[in-house]
Every structure is written in structure tokens, then in C-alpha cells.
Structure 1
Amino acid sequence: MNAFRVFFEGHAAFFAVVVPIAAIAGSYFAGVRGAKIQARGGQDQASAARDAAEIAAEAQRVAALWTVRQVQVAEFIQSAREVSMSADGFYKNYSVEDQQSRRDRVSAAAKTMSLTEAEIQLIAPAAVVDASFNVARAATNAYVCALMDGPTVRARSALKRIAYGDGEHEVKRAALAAIRVLDDESSSHADRQEAVSAVPGLAEEHVLRLGDRRRGAPVRRLEERRREHQEAFKDSMAALVSAAREMLKSEEDVAPTVPEQRRRWRLRNSVASTAGSA
């Protein structure tokens, strides 16, 4: 210690110059190093911000797609059911005005069904697209069949009301005789026309419909065809609902899936926070 003190006192002028220079140099290099660390921290923060913006944008896209899919599939299902239910009404006895009103409802529902099916084809997975196609086809087939067979079923219903109603015996007997002829698939067109024309009180439109061999098929065959279309629609709708629930992850009872944060973002975010604290 004495030697060092003697050396220092003998070179006081030298140390008076060197020590301040060393202090300045140390401060300079420390500042440069700190600036580099801070700059790197700023870059990491900027990169983390970009990643966060990308994740937020992807989350919004996923949520928007989920909502659009839900809305379009629900609207398609509703319109398809409207077509099917309205079509089934053509087998029942309604006035001419009611029948026209029903046609208008079916037409509007069919347009909505066609439009939403096209939208589903653009936004939904293949399973949902195929299922919606089958539903639209089943609903359309049911409607076309109802338009063709509905008047015949209504005419047969009118004939049965006469046959089993409270009318005169002769009238009821003529109606029963007509039913037997109509149920005989070997009966000729002339026989059918003669049988139904002999029933008093049967409307002319029903006579024309039942007397036409091409359109007056036995009721049991018409009912079988009606049930087949109803079952086809029911099965196709069940398949669509199942596929749609799978697409929307309904069983999980959760919000739309949001992409997980990437590991690189978490690391960068951690580095940026450390640098900012320093």
C-alpha cells in the first residue's frame, strides 16, 4: 500500500489526466451498449405488436366466418322446411285462393333456399355443402310431387266424403262404385270417366282429375310416394343438422376457436418487457 501511494504521488499529474479519460470512455461504451439493448428491445416490441395485430385479425376473421356460417345454414334450414311443409299442404282441401297463397309462399321460400344454398357452397365445408344439396333436392322433389299428386288426393278425398257421408243412398252407392273402379289398375280410361261422372255432387275438376288414367293413380300409391318424399326430406335434413353442428362445434359449447399465440411472439414479448424495464 505504501509503495502504491508513493507511486501514485510520484505520478500524480499522469493520473490526473488518465482517470477522467477512462471515466469518459467507460461512460461512452456503457451508453452505446445501453442504446443497442434499448434499440433491440424496441424492435422486439414492434415485432410483438405486429404479431398481436395479426392474431387479432385472424380471430376476427374466424369469428366472422363462424357467424356467417351459422346465419346462412339456419336460414337455409328454415326456408327448406317452409318448402316441405307448404308442399304437403297441397294434399289437403283448401280453396283456390288458399292454394295460390300457398304457391306464393313456396315460391318465396324456394328462392331463399336456392340463394342460401349457393352461399353455403362458398363458405361451408364439403360435408355441409353436400348435405344442403340433398336437402334442397328432397324439398324440391316433395314440392313437385305435391303439385302433381295433390289434386288427385284432394279429388279422392272429396269422393270418399260423398261415399261415407250422410247423403242419399243412391249417391253413396255411386261413389263407392267409382272408388272400386279407380282402385282397379286394369280399368280403362272410359270406365273411369263413366264411374266418376255418375257420382252426383262431385265437382267437375275432380271428375276430370279422377277420370284421367294417367293422373288418377290409386290413392295407396300416391300416399306411398308422398311418404317416401317426406322420409327423404326428413333424413336429409337430419344429416344436414348433424354436419352443421359439427362445423359449428355445437357440442363443445364454446366460442369460435381463436388461434393460439405463437411461441415466437411470447418470447419476443418477454424480451421486450425485460429491455423496457432495464
Structure 2
Amino acid sequence: MTAFKQYFEDNPEIFAALVAAIAILGGLLGSIIGAKIQANGGRDQAAAAREAARIAAEAQHVAALWSVQHIQTAEYIRIVHELSRLSTSFYKQDSTGGALEEQISTVYREMIQKLAEIELVASVPVVEAARAVRHAVDDVTSNAQALGPAAYLESHVRRLAFRPIGESHPGAPRAMRALAALKLAHTSGDDASTDAYQEARDAVRQLPGVNEYLATEALGIIQHGDYEQLRREVVMELAEKRRLLVDAARGMLKSGESIPIMPPPPRRGWQQVDI
């Protein structure tokens, strides 16, 4: 070691050249290491960017699907409400002429179309609940068209009977008694039922606003039992099926929960190093 030291002291120009060479080699080695670190950092950044883009695209897809599910299900429930409202009209007005049936048919087609759209985008529980609602709607609408004339005729007779003094129709009390007798007669045998039907038919045909079609349809329904009980059953069934649909939809849409729209990007293992 002493000999080397003495040699460099005797030859300072060689020592200077060696120091310069070491410096150059160190710089080159440092540049190579720095470039490698920077390259690795660039690859990690690119991978992180791709992952962030994938997550963003997936989040956008989930948000778009959620929006479609929300809109389609809410619209389906709205249409069901509309069909229920229209069905109630059969019990409150004379449906002779077919205008109300046409309205029901138009809205019903909208419901079938919306159900098909729900089947494409909604969860299995929501699809099953929506189908059950459709069957309940079928029962409500068909029963309303069949039983509505009876309810309307009875309410029409009551309105004529209970008008202010001097305005009530003189034949209304007879019609009310005849309808009450007809309701009881179906349990008393065919002869009694036939006689009661004829009396009710003669009585209601004397009233204003009662045509032959309404009298025939309504009295035939009243003659065969408690139609109001059947009406209540199908309406309650629809209400229950609609409640189950709403519950299933809330589960699908995670109503009441706080869900982040965009998850945070993953942490990167390398940061860019400036050399």
C-alpha cells in the first residue's frame, strides 16, 4: 500500500487520470441505474393509468346500469298505478261504448313493453316480482271489466234514490229494494232467484241512465253472489305484489346505502424519479 502511495505521489498526472476515469465510470453507472429506475417507474405509471381507466369504465357502466334499472322499474310501477286507477273507473262510471276498455288496452300494452325491458336489465328477484305484479294486474283489470257494471248500477240507483227532496226519481226506491232482494235470492233456490231477477230488471229499466246492456250485465253479476268480496281480494293481492316489487327494487338499487360512484385508484409501487 505504501509503494502504491509513493508511486502516485511520484506520478501525479497518472493519479489525476485515474481519478477522472473513476469519476466518468461512476457517472455512467449512475446514469444507467437512474435510467432503469425511471423506466420502471414509467411502466408502473402506465400500468396504474390502465388500471384506473379500467376501474373508471367499470364504474361508469355500473352507474349507467343503475340509472336504467331505476328508471325502468319506476316507470313500470307508475304504469301499474295507472292501470289500477283505470280499473277503478269501471266501478264508478258507465263503461258502455268501450272507451274505457280501449284506455285499459293501451296502457296494458305499455306495461307489457316495460316488463320486457325490465327482464333485460333488472335482477332476478325484481324480474320475478314484476311478473307477479303483471298477473295480479290481469286479475284486477279483468274483474273490473266483469264486475264494474254491477257496482256502477248500484251506486247509480242510490244516487237517484238519495237526491234532495223533489229531485229523487220515484222508481229508485223500488229498484233499491229489488236489488237487495236479488242479492239474497241466489241462496234461496232457482225459482226465487229467477223471480227476483225479473223484478230487478223491470225496476232498473225504468230509471234514467240505465240501458239494456247495463241492466243485463249488472243484474247477472249481482244475481250470482258477493262480487264486492272478489273485488277486494284481487285489489289486496295486487297491493301485496306491488309491495314485494318495491322491496325487491330497493334491494337491487341498494336504496338507503352510501355507495361510492368511483373507487379510489390503486397505490403505485414506484414513483417517477428525476435523475
TM-score, length-scaled by structure 1:
0.82
Unaligned runs of 5+ in 2: none
Q: Distance in 1 between matches of 2:172 and 2:56?
A: 78
- Counterpart amino acid of 1:47? A
Moved more, 152-161 or 54-63: 152-161
Question: In structure 1, what is the equivalent of residue 200 of structure 2?
Answer: 196
Mark the CA change 1:72 to 1:211 in structure 2 (over 3 Å): closer, same or farther.
closer
Question: In structure 1, what is the equivalent of residue 154 of structure 2?
Answer: 156
Moved more, 123-132 or 188-197: 188-197
Q: Does the aligned pair in 2 maintain the 1:183–1:218 contact within 8 Å?
A: no
Question: In structure 2, what is the equivalent of residue 266 of structure 1?
Answer: 267
Are 2:117 and 1:119 aligned? yes
Question: In structure 1, what is the equivalent of residue 251 of structure 2?
Answer: 246
- Counterpart amino acid of 1:209? E
Question: In structure 2, what is the equivalent of residue 207 of structure 1?
Answer: 215
Q: Distance in 2 between matches of 1:217 and 1:234?
A: 28
Are 2:170 and 1:139 aligned? no
Deviations 1:208-256 (A, max 9, x none): 22454xx44456x21011111110111111111111112212222x356
Q: Distance in 2 between matches of 1:18 and 1:260?
A: 53
Q: Does the aligned pair in 2 maintain the 1:192–1:210 contact within 8 Å?
A: no
Q: Distance in 2 between matches of 1:163 and 1:92?
A: 17
Aligned-pair CA distance for 1:7: 2.4
- Counterpart amino acid of 2:273? G
Unaligned runs of 5+ in 1: none
**Where do 1:1-278 residues align within 5 Å?**
6-94=6-94, 96=96, 100=99, 102-161=100-159, 166-168=168-170, 172-173=173-174, 175-185=176-186, 186-187=189-190, 190-199=194-203, 200-201=206-207, 202-210=210-218, 212=220, 215-218=221-224, 221-252=226-257, 254-255=258-259, 257-259=261-263, 261=265, 265-268=266-269, 271-272=270-271, 275-277=272-274
Q: Does the aligned pair in 2 maintain the 1:193–1:210 contact within 8 Å?
A: no
Q: Distance in 2 between matches of 1:175 and 1:12?
A: 134
Aligned-pair CA distance for 1:87: 0.6
Say what the alpha-carbon RMSD is for the aligned residues: 2.9
Q: Distance in 2 between matches of 1:144 and 1:229?
A: 10
Q: Distance in 2 between matches of 1:103 and 1:174?
A: 28
- Counterpart amino acid of 1:187? D
Mark the CA change 1:226 to 1:12 in structure 2 (over 3 Å): closer, same or farther.
same
More helix by share: 1
Q: Distance in 2 between matches of 1:182 and 1:141?
A: 23
Moved more, 66-75 or 24-33: 24-33
- State the identity %: 34
4+ residue stretches of structure 1 with deviation over 6 A? 1-4
Moved more, 129-138 or 71-80: 129-138
Mark the CA change 1:115 to 1:276 in structure 2 (over 3 Å): closer, same or farther.
farther
Q: Does the aligned pair in 1 maintain the 2:38–2:274 contact within 8 Å?
A: no
Alignment: residue pair count: 264
